[in-house]
Amino acid sequence: MQSLDAFASEKLRALEAADLRRSLAASARGEGLWVERGGRRLLSFSCNDYLNLTRHPLLRRAATAAIEAWGTGAGASRLVTGNHPLYAELETRLARLKGSEAACVFGSGYLANTGVIPALVGAGDLVLLDALAHACIWTGARLSGAAIRSFRHNDAADAAALLTASRKDYRRALIVTEGVFSMDGDIAPLAALAELARQCDAWLMSDDAHGVGVLGQGRGSAAALGIGAGDIPLQMGTLSKALGSYGGYLCASREVIDLMHNRARTLVYSTGLPPASVAAAIAALDIIASDPGLTERPLAKARRFTALAGLSEAQSPIVPIIVGPADAALAASRRLEEEDFLVTAIRPPTVPEGTARLRLAFCAAHPDEAIERLAGLVSSFIRR
């Protein structure tokens, strides 16, 4: 135990010296966008609850009713006894939203990516990833045992050069990208990647965790770009951001979804989601369908901010302010906290070295006057 503790202490000291040590801060999210942290009440611009649905009365009522009907937990994996009746409705609704034949819900977005990729490719296959793809995409690729190549961020030409040069060496090829990149807020060149997949007999998978609910009238980044579901046969996403609940999903053909039921280890060997989470996600889809204007507000708020701050127009509700060194990003975050804003500093390894940043996430309910004040503060950082 002494050697283990010494190892942990040494690692923590190294992180501290590099301004990379992290700690958990109790954050009580109240009504609206306010967070109580460290005895202070802060307006959060660091939350992925883009449509402010986590406390919506319809979601609360749906979750409560599900607990009354089905209890607090699933009780087992979905293949044993944990596949409660609410799943069928949610998966039907997700498939309809994304224009696919079927859907499969996982315990989280991380579990979806780390289960789907190894179920599709393995030794002798190739996974081609955007260099800035989410950590769970990289984890899923590594778990698969397939060869991994990465292309420059959002550079379809680089992806094409890599794939055309090596495609003949592998049985199967899978291209994976985020639809909306979680740390940069930009949108992948999905049309070009879909064409590349067609030309090279590859499969395209898009992680649209930050696109569903806020782009393309809620249908996501592909819909916003006018790309049909047939061009992206593997559409992954999450229930924990714009949908205000918890869980992940894959939308695909019925054959692919049936394969997930049999081969995706993170589904087969994980307890099912609590009924309340599934019911809340269904209620969120009801709201998105009935109020398309709601889905447009997060991006509109982000674009108001970028216009006021003199930044390039936002492509999504995520706006990064690249600061550079980790200590400078921490100092900028503390400065905003002094002004009653919560904007968390994002540091390596979440982002590449030298690109520590403030990551702003805009929600439908952010007040315009707060956005104006925040833009003025952030502009002062940029001018420095």
How far, in whole angstroms, is CA 35 from its chain's centroid?
21
Asked if 168 is an active-site residue, the reply is no
Asked if 23 is an active-site residue, the reply is no
Q: One of 44, 144, 182, 333 is an active-site residue; which one?
A: 182
Angle (CA) 64 66 68, round 5°: 70
Asked if 241 is an active-site residue, the reply is yes
Asked if 210 is an active-site residue, the reply is yes
> Tokens 């906290």 identify what position?
337
> Tokens 């994980």 identify what position?
270
> Tokens 């690692």 identify what position?
11
**Could you tell me the CA-to-CA distances from 135 to 50, 71, 139, 204 in Å, in that order?**
21, 33, 6, 18
Q: One of 49, 178, 184, 186 is an active-site residue; which one?
A: 178
Q: One of 44, 91, 130, 134 is an active-site residue; which one?
A: 134
Report how far residue 197's alpha carbon sits from residue 126's, in angstroms, rounded to the nearest whole number.
13
Asked if 155 is an active-site residue, the reply is no
Q: One of 207, 270, 301, 333 is an active-site residue; which one?
A: 207
At 163, list the tokens.
């794939």
Q: One of 84, 98, 241, 366 is an active-site residue; which one?
A: 241
Put the strands of the sheet holding 102-106 in their side by side order: 102-106, 248-252, 234-238, 203-207, 173-178, 126-130, 147-151
Strands (E), the chain: 28-29, 34-37, 40-44, 102-106, 126-130, 147-151, 173-178, 203-207, 234-238, 248-252, 318-324, 341-342, 345-346, 356-361
Report how far residue 373's alpha carbon sits from residue 379's, in angstroms, rounded to the nearest whole number.
10
Q: One of 46, 48, 240, 245 is an active-site residue; which one?
A: 48
Asked if 182 is an active-site residue, the reply is yes
> Tokens 């949108």 identify what position?
187
CA dihedral 169, 171, 206, 74 (to 10 degrees): -140
Which residues make Cβ contacts (< 8 Å) with residue 228, sequence separation at least 6?
99, 222
Residue 246 corresponds to which amino acid?
A: Y
> Tokens 């869980």 identify what position?
247
Q: One of 210, 221, 277, 366 is an active-site residue; which one?
A: 210
Catalytic residues: 48, 134, 178, 182, 207, 210, 241
